[in-house]
Chains A and B, each alone.
Chain A
Amino acid sequence: MTNDKFSETDNDRFLAQLMANLPLEKAPEGFTSGIMQQIQSGIEPLADTPEYRRQMLWGYLSVLATLVIVVIMLFAQWPFLKINLFSDTDQLRNLLNASLGILEGFNSIVSYLKDSSTMIIIFLSVGLLLLFERLIRNGFQQKRTFLF
């Protein structure tokens, strides 16, 4: 016993001796193979290696790029569509009203969506973000990224 002074008294040596005689509970048969099967069918551990750090750099770059795109989409003027999300309060109010109208029926929302370039931009943006994330993910060897 290499533990501290607590085990050095006669009484503790006696207790340690008794405890040493206790048999250790055995893990069930096939325990190791069960774990290895689960591991082999699942995810590899993420190693803290140069390769892993390189992939993480790509990950951080993708997050940064996504944030830049989101900021541009939110704050940029869209002259070709004549939309500025933050200054065009009427459109936002209409969108809110249409969303609340979901309780009365979907017709008002569907008709609003037909005419709403704001919603088209939002859907397009989300689609682009998902596509961008997918493309970036191809650069990862691991099956799981730190994003999802």
Chain B
Amino acid sequence: MSDSVDTVLSPSRSARWMKPDRIKELTLVGIITASVLVFSLLIDNYLSGRFFNRITTSVVIVAILAAAQTLVLITRNIDLSVGSIVGVAAYLTGDFLGANNWAGPLIAVLVAMLIGAVLGSFNGVLVAYGRVPAIIVTLGTLALFRTMLSLYAGGQNITADSLPDWVLDLNRVTVVSIGGLDLRLVFLIAILVFVVLQWALARLRSGRRLYAIGSNPEAAKQAGLPEQRLVFWAFVGSGALAGLAGFMFLARIGTISATAGAGLELESVAAAVVGGVSIFGGSGTMVGALLGATLIETLELSLVRVPQVSEFWRDALLGILILAGVLLDFTLHKRLGRRLTAAARTDAGGSPPTTIGARRRAGKGSSDA
């Protein structure tokens, strides 16, 4: 008992606050656990190995797209063209594999990612160097890439039998199997991608600078950060990841039409935002994006098995989740800011600001300045 009194009286520094990103991630883990528990009560045989395998294989594409989106969102931009890039990369890679049967998986992945990177660099040039708002640029390229694909495809589909056998088998390759839980290769690749990206964003200098740019572009400029170059590369990265997702799309579906991947851009934004990535830039993690994608995928696949919920409501749920995610981000940020301010003020042991200070803050925009 006396111990706890002691900690209350002299809280250690780290106990006084928690990184906003950690709070978001833990909240998501809680929500995912809670929804799995609820579904397991509603659905017979819900907690089975088969269901785990289904979720882990189907989450891969959305998760990688969420990673792509996160890279761009952090810099206070958005990439709405990822769905179209998935389509282009899937189709062209399928085309390439049909014509070059000798090519192995590694080459196929590189081709897909290169296609994505080229398309992403187009976005990047316009946003970073052309100073056109990202939402306009990528809304344009969303349509542009899709149209170019339609022209190229000319009504022809990539069919499963034109592809080498290994492509379609890829999705079922299991690396390890523990009990009924299979860890599939595609899932492990996605995890690897996330580990690398999470590390890069946390530890690479340029990773931290992406956050800085999104957090306060004006200050980033003043600090002399190479903001144009970094935003450009964020879009290239986003494109390359969308290309990777395109390859996985090809491996999963096999038959690719010119409309392949349409609508995935919205799911990628949803997963990232639900995962705590701020659309105002500067905050959010790859782990969060992965959790967001997992939550969305779990809900979608589980709700199908609840007969009382119609398809109509399943779509609405996605929308509600996005709104809830944005709202949570907003309130959390505001309340956290206030709490930290209060903490900082008592720390300083200083007097509260005088009326002059209060006036400056309250009268922002209405003062003589």
Q: Do A and B bind each other?
A: no
Which A residues have a C-beta under 8 Å from some C-beta of B?
none
Which B residues have a C-beta under 8 Å from some C-beta of A?
none
